[in-house]
Amino acid sequence: LTPLILAVPQTPTPRFDWFQTEFSVSLVVYSKQKDLEPECVVVDVSDRELRVCVVLGDQSYLLHLELEDKVLEEYTVQVTSPLGKVEVCLKKAQPRMSWKSLGQHLGGSGLLDKTSSRELLFRRGVVTARSTVTHDTVLLCVRLPPGTHMGLALGHHVYLQAPVQGVDITRAYTPVLPSLTAPWEVVPRLSTLLHFMIKVYPNGTLTPVLGCLGPGDAVLVGDGAGTFRRAQVAGVSQLSLIAAGTGLTPMVRLLAYAVVSDHIRKIELVFFNKSPEDILWKQQIDELCDRDSRFQVHYVLSEVSDRWHGRIGRISRTLLSELLAPVSSGVGERRRRLACVCGAAPFTELAVSILDELGFEDQEIHTFTE
């Protein structure tokens, strides 16, 4: 028998071009990928240095240049999704000066590479606001430097870094939105302001430091990463979000996506916490439920409390089979569903095995991990 060799489709390497006017220099990246996600671009501009990173699945295309001349910090980024085109329009610091070239490539520039193998770039964010979410969790609003535009794909996280006793500590955090109840018409995009929910663990390494930050304090924000693809949720009719504690964070932007998506007919959040006071954004979640009849929430607490008359327990097959009732499909209609899970690793593992037992296919389950 001749062995069957399957060709693995390779992501074609993008190419780029540039042009100038008297006042501007535009860089155009042709990603060669249709339906490019609008959030796939991260741009950092400072003085004569330009770094453009276009995330294409688990790979990314990097252009890192020392420009021919200085540019201003203000610039625009435009993504034409159907054509897979990204245009970064920079403003010349010296208008009317004609550039002979775009500049010199710096290390790694022009290459398509696995995102996980790239060195993280950290830029200096500044906390602009801080508010209390629960007794141990704060919401920080972080403004990125003026030269940074950070698109971050749905479901992806970034890295935050701060020095702790002289050692730089880095951890992954999934940005949320300023609130869950803003009346969105389109999914809000991230670009210069990022919001983080930080739960402070008294014996934690980084969280006690992050939890003390207030307006004016600096925090380093690294590049984004993640395995979630928007295509996984596009077209699904039932979206089940299974979150434990701060595992709510990746669900926040997904909820915003679901709320504005007509194809989703049922959105359910099964939210596991220890006690009533640990439930993040409970009031906002309840408000969203009241506003959108497709959305249902089930809170499950693991600690018995006098002040709680709802469900008590932990994740189990009995509980999920009761709560994740399938949405009825019309005659001849293909029902698509997606279950997303986020929480501590043992919780996530257990959730996946239960979903598997309940008949969810592999492609119908997404787990958020760092």
E strands in 193-252:
193-199, 218-225, 238-244
State the nearest-atom distance from the C-beta of 172 to ligand NAD, in Å.
Answer: 6
Is residue 335 within the footprint of ligand NAD (CB under 6 A)? no
State the nearest-atom distance from the C-beta of 313 to ligand NAD, in Å.
Answer: 8
State the nearest-atom distance from the C-beta of 45 to ligand NAD, in Å.
Answer: 29
Nearest to ligand NAD by Cβ — which residue?
245
Is residue 344 within the footprint of ligand NAD (CB under 6 A)? yes
> Which are the contacts of 187, defined by CB distance < 8 A and separation ≥ 6?
154, 253, 256, 257, 260
Is residue 252 within the footprint of ligand NAD (CB under 6 A)? no
Beta bridge partners of 148: 44
Instruction: Give the binding range for ligand NAD (CB under 6 A) out of 20-28, 67-75, 112-120, 338-346.
Output: 338-346
Instruction: Give the binding range for ligand NAD (CB under 6 A) out of 60-68, 81-89, 188-196, 271-279.
Output: 271-279
Is residue 350 within the footprint of ligand NAD (CB under 6 A)? yes
Closest CA to 329 of 238, 234, 235: 238
In the set 249, 254, 269, 285, which binds ligand NAD (CB under 6 A)? 249
Residue that the structure tokens 């492609």 belong to: 363
By CB under 6 A, what part of segment 181-210 binds ligand NAD?
199
> Which are the contacts of 91, defined by CB distance < 8 A and separation ≥ 6?
23, 24, 71, 72, 74, 75
Distance, CA of 30 to chain centre: 23
Q: Of 55 and 79, which CB lies nearer to ligand NAD in the complex structure? A: 55
In the set 156, 245, 259, 337, which binds ligand NAD (CB under 6 A)? 245
81 close to 36: Cβ distance less than 8 angstroms: yes
Q: Of 25 and 342, which CB lies nearer to ligand NAD in the complex structure? A: 342
Is residue 228 within the footprint of ligand NAD (CB under 6 A)? no
In the set 247, 324, 339, 340, which binds ligand NAD (CB under 6 A)? 247
Instruction: Report, in this order, helix, strand and coil percent for the chain, each rounded to 5.
Output: 15, 40, 45
Residue that the structure tokens 């780029």 belong to: 16
Q: How does strand 193-199 pair with strand 295-301? A: unpaired
Instruction: Give the binding range for ligand NAD (CB under 6 A) out of 45-53, 253-261, 269-277, 333-341.
Output: 269-277
* Dihedral sign for Cα atoms in the order 91, 92, 96, 102: negative
Q: Which residues sit at the interface with ligand NAD, rule CB under 6 A?
A: 157, 174, 199, 244-247, 249-250, 272-274, 278, 302, 314-315, 342-344, 346-347, 350, 368-370
